[in-house]
Homo-oligomer: A and B are copies of this chain.
Amino acid sequence: MIETPPLVDQYCHGVLRTELGLGTFEAQLVRSAGPPAAGTTFFDTQAGFAVRRWCPPLLGLEPHCAPARYLARRRELGAAEVARRLLRGSGVGAYLVDTGAPGDLTGPGELALAGEAEAFEAVRLEPLAEQVADTSGTVAAFLANLAGAVHAAASSAAAFTCGAGPGRGLAPALSAEPPGPGEVRGAAGRWLGRRSRGGALRDPVLLRHLLWSAVASGLPIQLHTGPGEPAERPDPAGPGLLTDFAQATAGLGTRLVLLGGHPYHRHAAHLAAAFPHVHADAGAALGRTGAGAAAVLAELLELAPFGKLLFSSGAGRLPELHAVGALVFREALGKVLGGRVAEGAWSWRDADRVAAMLAAGNARRVYRLDGGG
């Protein structure tokens, strides 16, 4: 068996604090534009099957038990106790939490407590700008406060993250250079002028300014790749845009981490090989692909240097997804790396070393989690 140290989950959200009915629970299993089609259920997916395999035993039930029975047990224990059991049973030692996701979710501190783990913050850029806009009276104040907020986040957080992504409206922001000061002032004036308090940031010039401010801060930046949310159109130029952005940011000292990306994960792995500052995510797709995760992990391992792949669960809202992400990853790692050893392609020693890198070591180095700064 391949052993790993406690995992670092390099990208996740908090969990819901409330009790969940069957329908609300089911709705979290798939990223869908609507409810399950008539005659189908989201439990009949890799994510649903993986939850039914891994989670019931952590709550004292048989694996593969029926959803209704699992939900009944969940209510019996209460949301807080369920989160504790699932998170502690997942083998994760540290979380990087994107605190910009909508909804009443636990923050890094609560997640750490529930999971008996460390927790670090990944600051999402759009909400940061929106908060600054809520408290800044003029364009000049907004831009100065924004610079201050980015600077402050860079010294306290582990990473920046972007809600947008190629295929998620980020395309224009990935252009090869930051916008000029006049362009930024103009865009800020227009956006501040028409937004109401709490209004979301979607202006492409300001997104570009934000992203390049983050690049200048030196903190690692997590970018979503892949087709994104159902309501958003995949950008056919996405992979090309990422290459452009990787070229434009090469040598500036800021590390990029490409999140998700399935079914284009091989492209992300290629970029992680081609650019010293680019890293790829070896997790978010795995929980969603459940029993098929080993094949996806093997594809990531074809091209990505082993020092450039980082585990994440990509989970949020349900602690089941955090647990499944970690347990599926660990199993896939054992299957793929154990297989390589069994057929004589890799030595045990190398396999264990690579497992430790993917599980925790790479994330600790990239995000400087051990206090290196």
Q: Nearest residue in B to A264 (C-beta to C-beta)? A: B263
Partner of A276, one of B32, B64, B247, B289: B32
Number of interface residues of A (CB under 8 A): 75
| Cross-chain contact B30 with A305 (CB below 8 angstroms) | yes
Contact with B along A155-196 (1 / 0, CB 8 A): 000000000000000000000000000000000000000000
Q: Does A299 contact B (CB under 8 A)?
A: yes
Query: Of A75-83, A93-101, A141-149, A346-354, which binds chain B?
Result: A346-354
Contacts of A28 in B (CB 8 A): none
A307 and B48 CA atoms in complex are apart in Å by: 12
Contacts of A216 in B (CB 8 A): none
Q: Does A357 contact B (CB under 8 A)?
A: yes
Closest 6 CB pairs of A and B: A40-B307, A263-B266, A230-B274, A291-B345, A64-B347, A289-B302
| Cross-chain contact A306 with B236 (CB below 8 angstroms) | no
| Cross-chain contact A247 with B231 (CB below 8 angstroms) | yes
On whether A303 and B262 interact (CB within 8 A), knowing A31-B274, A49-B345, the answer reads yes
Q: Does A17 contact B (CB under 8 A)?
A: no
Partner of A305, one of B34, B45, B234, B299: B45
A49 and B230 CA atoms in complex are apart in Å by: 39
Contact with B along A223-245 (1 / 0, CB 8 A): 00001011101111101100110
Max chain B C-beta neighbours (<10 A), residue from A234, A298, A357: A234
Chain A residues engaging chain B, CB cutoff 8 angstroms = 30-37, 39-42, 44-46, 49-50, 53, 63-64, 227, 229-231, 233-237, 239-240, 243-244, 247, 250-251, 255, 262-263, 266-267, 269-270, 273-277, 288-292, 295-296, 298-299, 301-303, 305-308, 340, 343-347, 349-350, 354, 357, 365
| Cross-chain contact A32 with B275 (CB below 8 angstroms) | yes
On whether A270 and B276 interact (CB within 8 A), knowing A234-B240, A291-B345, the answer reads no
A30 and B271 CA atoms in complex are apart in Å by: 12
| Cross-chain contact B289 with A303 (CB below 8 angstroms) | yes
| Cross-chain contact A45 with B299 (CB below 8 angstroms) | no
On whether A240 and B233 interact (CB within 8 A), knowing A32-B274, A276-B37, A357-B44, the answer reads yes
11 contacts between A and B (CB under 8 A): A32-B276, A33-B250, A33-B274, A33-B275, A34-B250, A34-B276, A49-B345, A64-B350, A227-B270, A234-B240, A295-B295
Partner of A227, one of B63, B251, B267, B298: B267
A251 and B275 CA atoms in complex are apart in Å by: 41
Partner of A307, one of B41, B237, B267: B41
Contacts of A350 in B (CB 8 A): 49, 64
| Cross-chain contact B275 with A267 (CB below 8 angstroms) | no
A34-B275, A46-B302, A291-B346 given; 10 more Cβ-contact pairs under 8 Å: A31-B273, A32-B276, A39-B307, A39-B365, A44-B354, A45-B273, A46-B303, A227-B267, A236-B237, A263-B267
